[in-house]
Structure 1
Amino acid sequence: MPLHEQTSLWSDTTIKMLDGYSGTLQTSHTLTFDETEVTSNLLLLAVGGEGELAMNGEVCHIGASFACHVVKGASFTLTSRSDELYYIVITYKASSLTGVSHDLPSYRKHPLQISFIQSTMLQNEWVQTAEKIIAKWRRGEGLECFHANALLQGMIYELIMEYECGQGGEESDIVEIVASYIASHYRQDLELKDLAALAGCGVRQLQRRFKQEKQLGPMEYVIQLRMANASRMLHHTEASVGEIAERVGYSDTYYFSRAFKKVYGVPPLHYRLNKVSKTDADYATALLENRLASSYDSPQGPVICHMRGEYPVTESPRRIAVLDVQYADHLLALGLCPAGSVGSGSLSVHFPQYIRAGLQDTELLGTYEYPDLPAVEKLSPDLIVCTEVHEPYMERLSAIAPVLMFKRNESWQTILRLFGELTGKRAEAQRILADYHRRTALLSEELAPVLAGKSVALIRPLDSLVRVHSAAHRTGAVLYRDLGLPAPLFVADASDTAYHISVDRLPAVQASHYFLLSNEAMQGGISATEQRVRVMLNAGDRQHIHAVDAATWIGCYGPTGINGIVDQIEQALLVGEIGRTASERIEY
């Protein structure tokens, strides 16, 4: 094609983003689009796992990461074959500014009209750019959407350039063979001699060729992939350092931390907290205050990492005092009973109804906000578990017994695992979590067709404002992360636990179902703000309000409480929605 025609071909082409989202596929789960669903071109990026991509009748094994360009009218199915495959989908439309149809040579199609796969290791910047594109697009603001389109155009350019460079007709050389294998198996123990045997060459030849093309040796390349994926998980997940180490191929957390520091200059935990003050004193304090709960094994037994340091478990504690009801829930779920626990209430303090029967032999230790410290002293526990709220009492509590301090909003699943380590109930904790994941996965599948085209919001009326919660909120995580329910676009890009909006702006959320966290039980009646919210939402024909107790949905944060919340979600969205649908059919 003459140069001036090529110039016109591209200069008249415009890219317009249509949508974008991300998700995670667990083992054997699939992401499927048929011909009727691919109504525009799309980019599919996947990192952190391996699996199979079936596109237009052809099956391709994909490694630890890949990028795929899919044209309108194509079909594909992505199947995960690893523990966790993180994917990003961006749909877009390519059109001519002039409306003129370019005549392309018969021997070659325009790259934007071809479905193709780039199965080499994704540039880490691509993933970050894709996430930035989606975040800007979700904001729905003119300038941000303009920037999202500009970033997308640059990303498509880089993808096409890599695709074009690979169209010379030569087969992949030994470097690409080995690099592709490493990308799919970097979590495993890899040896240089085995990689050389795979490529059919000697060790020295492989090292020399790899160094020439990749600017680093094969084993350094393995470490690079491991660290790139570790940095992504540190940035985007709540997984502990030990869990991340295991996921990227290190059984020893200490060795992983040393390797990570060698690449990034700081240990993993410091990397995760890189926004806190870097002065020595402030940084040390902030590091502990922001420390996520975790554990690791030592020759003497498990070591629990918490906000105040580390607690080696030499023997399981027998008398545990908990200063947050959620911890009592955790212990009861493991078949144990705390020696003492705080309760709830103001005029009359009591244990929550949903776990009261299991706490008949448990001493009442005041409330979460105002623990009864003399009662704690009298109890003589051998371990105290509290949250950062109890920092003012630390000196007195530490004089009574060893203290574990966790963030109150720490993942309940993480805390349950740690309580399993602490009490010698590791297998029981794993079973509870497995049952929960199985239950939410099945319920998610049942809800998908019921909620097709609908979204679910979690809101709480306050004084003159409405709090709209996101997946970062611990109950919002149950809705959006565990059950995979569709969040309104209004909150899809929330980096905080919630947005605060006026009651008049509530229609902008545009949800089909609203779980309204009602303060009625705590306040002894419905507030004026909550009344306005109910009237406004009831005025819509296609909106459903599910009023739930705010204290229960926010405070019941253990296995029993969380499963109770899932029960209410199932009742409201599955049983209730099926009933409404049947009623509508009868009326019709």
Structure 2
Amino acid sequence: MAIRFSELMLKIELIYDKPPLPGWQDPRRTIHVHSLYWVHEGRGFFTLDGREFPVGPGSLLYLRPGRELWMMSDTDNPLHMTMILFQAAAVTRHNGAWQVRELAALEMAEVQALRGADREDCEGRIKALRTAWAPGDDGREAAACNLLLRLIRSVSRRQTARGGQERPASGAGPGSSGPPPWEAAKRYLDTHYYADIRLSLVAEDCGISLRQLRRRFLEELGTSPKEYLDKVRHEHALRLLEHTDEPLKRIASACGYYDEFHFSKAFKKIAGMSPSAYRSATPKGEWRQERGEE
């Protein structure tokens, strides 16, 4: 049964940039959620229902829960892609009562090859979505879910009306006055957690002293900038451990840790167990209950 986009509710579980490593091969491991795969660059082959097909820049795949996929990257021109895992439900009101119905599938084509303005639009939306999402931050997660909804609506409209083109979403940059310096620093940590960050330089770039930045973080967030950055990195590491089988070395690099040793040490400090132990104790599909989420 078709649903209105105004009735669609989404919950993002993971957004992950797959690094462009030569010749990587991987199955779709987390199959209990909906998935989008967007290819930024490179070449490769995907296998779906026993059918192998090439993918490249502008390839967009949507898979409903339960679908299996095998992915293989080219050796000379490796795939760089973004993977989005999410849950979807329809929220309707009937006889004065709200009803929530989990969706088994969305009305989207499984495989699309976007070109020209369509590709540029989707690329911009994916990048904005990737920047907005910050696991553990309710406001940022809600904003990212809204961007994902707009992306799905835009792609779905193109399927039914190739003649009409929706204008790319304008950048949601700060207003003329801009955010307070401490908030600008927080946004930077949210979106650049994977980088080698020096808090003194972040403070300088945001027009605030490091001492003032620490004071404002403690006042507004109840934690120091360093502790906040550790929390952001930890949240991203949790999602990768829960939803992928990426090696710990790769997760460490993706989350901004110097190496696997420092990653394991920082993770154990917060979680009370090593990354390997956490992954073993959290079967895929059960992590939400174990972390107390509905």
Q: Under TM normalisation by the shorter chain, which class is it?
A: 0.5 to 0.7
Alpha-carbon distance between aligned partners in 2 of 1:129 and 1:165, rounded to the nearest angstrom: 19
2:123 to 103, 124, 127: 127
Letter in 2 for 1:96: A
Residue 23 (structure 1) shift: 2.1
Where 1:146 maps in the other structure, the secondary structure is helix
Alpha-carbon distance between aligned partners in 1 of 2:195 and 2:121, rounded to the nearest angstrom: 32
Contact 1:514 1:543 in 2 (8 A): no
2:14 to 19, 26, 51: 19
Kindly report which structure 2 residues correspond to 1:323-472, keeping only aligned pairs within 5 A, or say none.
none
| Structure 2 residues without counterparts, runs of 5 or longer | 93-98, 164-193, 201-210, 215-223, 234-245, 277-294
Alpha-carbon distance between aligned partners in 1 of 2:271 and 2:36, rounded to the nearest angstrom: 37
Alpha-carbon distance between aligned partners in 2 of 1:457 and 1:541, rounded to the nearest angstrom: 25
Kindly report which structure 2 residues correspond to 1:94-243, keeping only aligned pairs within 5 A, or say none.
94-98=88-92, 99=99, 112=106, 116-121=110-115, 123-138=119-134, 140-165=136-161
Residue 83 (structure 1) shift: 2.0
Alpha-carbon distance between aligned partners in 2 of 1:162 and 1:115, rounded to the nearest angstrom: 10
After superposition, the C-alpha distances for 1:112-159 in whole angstroms (9 at most, x for unaligned) are: 066611023362232232222122212632322221111110101111
Alpha-carbon distance between aligned partners in 2 of 1:459 and 1:123, rounded to the nearest angstrom: 32
Residues 1:14 and 1:79: Cα distance change in structure 2 (over 3 Å): same
Alpha-carbon distance between aligned partners in 1 of 2:11 and 2:55, rounded to the nearest angstrom: 28
Q: Which residue of 2 aligns with 1:202?
A: none
Where 2:143 maps in the other structure, the secondary structure is helix
2:252 to 483, 486, 502: 486
Higher relative contact order (CA 8 A, sep 6+): 2
Letter in 1 for 2:16: Y
1:513 to 261, 265, 280: 265
| Structure 1 residues without counterparts, runs of 5 or longer | 103-108, 167-212, 214-455, 472-479, 498-510, 516-535, 545-572, 574-588
Alpha-carbon distance between aligned partners in 1 of 2:195 and 2:56, rounded to the nearest angstrom: 36
**Could you tell me the TM-score, scaled by structure 2's length?**
0.52
Letter in 1 for 2:138: G
Contact 2:12 2:84 in 1 (8 A): yes
Residues 1:60 and 1:163: Cα distance change in structure 2 (over 3 Å): farther
Q: Which residue of 2 aligns with 1:88?
A: 82
Residue 77 (structure 1) shift: 1.9
- 2:64 matched to 1:57? no
Q: Which residue of 2 aligns with 1:542?
A: 273
Alpha-carbon distance between aligned partners in 1 of 2:78 and 2:6, rounded to the nearest angstrom: 40
**Could you tell me the TM-score, scaled by structure 1's length?**
0.28
Residues 1:27 and 1:148: Cα distance change in structure 2 (over 3 Å): same
Where 2:67 maps in the other structure, the secondary structure is coil
Contact 2:56 2:79 in 1 (8 A): no
Letter in 2 for 1:28: G
Kindly report which structure 2 residues correspond to 1:514-529, keeping only aligned pairs within 5 A, or say none.
514=266
Q: Which residue of 2 aligns with 1:30?
A: 25
Alpha-carbon distance between aligned partners in 2 of 1:16 and 1:126, rounded to the nearest angstrom: 20
Contact 2:18 2:80 in 1 (8 A): yes
After superposition, the C-alpha distances for 1:439-472 in whole angstroms (9 at most, x for unaligned) are: xxxxxxxxxxxxxxxxx99999x9998856999x
Where 2:252 maps in the other structure, the secondary structure is coil
Where 1:54 maps in the other structure, the secondary structure is strand
Contact 2:10 2:145 in 1 (8 A): yes
Contact 1:20 1:91 in 2 (8 A): yes
Kindly report which structure 2 residues correspond to 1:280-295, keeping only aligned pairs within 5 A, or say none.
none
Letter in 1 for 2:80: Y
Greater gyration radius: 1
Alpha-carbon distance between aligned partners in 2 of 1:33 and 1:118, rounded to the nearest angstrom: 18
Residues 1:458 and 1:120: Cα distance change in structure 2 (over 3 Å): closer
Residue 44 (structure 1) shift: 0.4
Kindly report which structure 2 residues correspond to 1:274-285, keeping only aligned pairs within 5 A, or say none.
none
Contact 2:46 2:54 in 1 (8 A): yes
1:74 to 67, 83, 92: 67
Letter in 2 for 1:84: P
Alpha-carbon distance between aligned partners in 1 of 2:57 and 2:14, rounded to the nearest angstrom: 25
Aligned length: 196
Residue 89 (structure 1) shift: 0.7
Where 1:53 maps in the other structure, the secondary structure is strand
